[in-house]
Amino acid sequence: MIFSFDLLINAVISGILIGGFYAAVTAGVSISFGILDIVNIAHPAFVILGSYIAYIVNAKLGLDPILTAIVMMPAFYVLGAGIYQIYYESFEKRGQESLRGLAFFFGVLFITEVSLVLYFGVDYRYVEAPYIGPTWHFGFVDIPFRIMVPCIVSLLLIAALQLVLTRTFIGRAIMAVAQDQLALRLMAVDPIRIKRIAFGISIATASLAGAFLIIIQPVEPSVGRQYIGRVFAICVLGGLSSLPGTVIAAMLIGVVESLTSTFYGPSWAPAVSFGFLLLTLAVRPAGLLGR
């Protein structure tokens, strides 16, 4: 371990930037798990799906991945709404969500990943875009564009989500459905519809997160698995439903992973976020900014 100040600073900066991206991936889970109490462990699979869609469109039509993802968001929304409907009818209504709901999402995760393997194979895929090559240099600090751009757009996405959740009627209804379904019904709002919309939004964010992912690194189907623990670690650490908490937790984990990778080697990095998760669950399940 050669300790050098440059390495340290660069590791911290790239950790923060990657953290911004992690926050975008986790935002969907903050909604589905933090607010709706649905353990959608298949969320990373939808992110990977978004990556592959960005890849095809980029390879065939040369379109920018982020633009593609934004165009695809309505489709992902519909997919999410449909999946929630199945989940609700099969599990939530019957009170079976703890065992069978969990198994359901696990199956979906698996099916998605294996289908991608069967269709695309296990080769790494990547996209081309004008901001993927260049790097900003400030003295000894290197900021690759391909990490910075997704980070910035991620933060914009989260800011937009926060606005929707706090300022719009639908957004506040979503926050309310977590706390008091009866009150919503008395206001002539159907809680199931609200949850469907929320879950749809959660999956829609996966589309964008997927584009970010394939910009930052080459993607193959099993990459999603690394994110299951990461995403739930960030979600729990950030206090479950708090989006600002998610951003802070994401950057924290990003920095710790980056430092571990730089000074101890990348083979230890997966243990970091998952270890964090175990630690958080054991010691402070309410998270850093817990409620």
Partner 1 sequence: MRTPAFLLVCFVIAGIVFAAAVAAGNDYVFFAGYVVLQYIVLSTAWNILGGYCGYVNFGTAAFFAVGAYSTVAVYKLMADSDFYPMPLPVLMLVGGVVSGVIGFGMGYLTLRLRGAFFAIATLALAVVLQTLVVNWDFVGGSRGAYILRPEVVPYIGSYIEYLFLVMLLLAVAALTIARLIERSRLGYGFATIRDDELAAEASGVPTLRIKLIATTISGALMGMAGAPFPYYIGYLQPESTFGLDYAVNSIAMPLIGGTTSWVGPLIGAILLGSLQQIATVTISSAVNLLIVGCLLVGFVIVAPNGIIGLVHTYWQRKPEDFVGRRRVETDAPGSVP
CB 197 within 8 Å of CB 170: yes
Query: How distant is the alpha carbon of residue 69 from its chain centre?
Result: 14
Contact call for residue 271 and partner 1 (CB under 8 A): yes
Whose Cβ is closer to partner 1: residue 70's or residue 271's? Answer: 271
Stretch that binds partner 1, among 60-68, 96-104, 142-150, 184-192 (CB under 8 A): 96-104
Q: What is the DSSP string of 57-79?
A: HHHHH---HHHHHHHHHHHHHHH
Helix axes 5-29, 145-167, angle to 10 degrees: 40
If residue 143 lies in a helix (H) or strand (E), which one and from where to where?
strand 141-144
In the stretch 117-146, what mask flags binding to partner 1 with x, by CB under 8 A?
xx----------------------------
In the stretch 19-38, what mask flags binding to partner 1 with x, by CB under 8 A?
--------------x---x-
**Whole-angstrom Cα distance, residue 134 to residue 149?**
11
For the chain, what's the residue count? 291
Contact call for residue 236 and partner 1 (CB under 8 A): yes
Task: Provide the minimum distance between the beta carbon of 123 and partner 1 in the complex, in angstroms, as a whole number.
Answer: 14
Q: Which residues contact 3 (CB under 8 A, 6 or more apart)?
A: 263
Q: Which residues contact 138 (CB under 8 A, 6 or more apart)?
A: none
Contact call for residue 110 and partner 1 (CB under 8 A): yes
CB 250 within 8 Å of CB 23: yes
Whose Cβ is closer to partner 1: residue 110's or residue 140's? Answer: 110
**Whole-angstrom Cα distance, residue 83 to residue 13?**
37
**Whole-angstrom Cα distance, residue 148 to residue 57?**
22
The token pair that represents 203 in the structure block:
């999956």
**Whole-angstrom Cα distance, residue 291 to residue 281?**
14
The token pair that represents 251 in the structure block:
């950057």
| Contact residue for partner 1 among 85, 96, 217, 261 (CB under 8 A) | 96
| Contact residue for partner 1 among 1, 2, 61, 99 (CB under 8 A) | 99
Contact call for residue 95 and partner 1 (CB under 8 A): yes
Whose Cβ is closer to partner 1: residue 143's or residue 271's? Answer: 271
Whose Cβ is closer to partner 1: residue 144's or residue 270's? Answer: 270
Contact call for residue 2 and partner 1 (CB under 8 A): no
Whose Cβ is closer to partner 1: residue 148's or residue 233's? Answer: 233
Contact call for residue 225 and partner 1 (CB under 8 A): yes
Task: Provide the minimum distance between the beta carbon of 272 and partner 1 in the complex, in angstroms, as a whole number.
Answer: 9
Q: 78: closest CA among 179, 167, 207, 259?
A: 207
Task: Provide the minimum distance between the beta carbon of 22 and partner 1 in the complex, in angstroms, as a whole number.
Answer: 16
Q: Judged by CB under 8 A, how many residues of this single chain contact partner 1?
A: 42
Whose Cβ is closer to partner 1: residue 2's or residue 99's? Answer: 99
The token pair that represents 260 in the structure block:
């571990």
Note the residues at the interface with partner 1 (CB under 8 A).
33, 37, 39, 41, 86, 90, 93-96, 98-100, 102-104, 106-108, 110-111, 114-115, 117-118, 225, 228-229, 232-233, 236, 267-268, 270-271, 274-275, 277-278, 281-282, 285
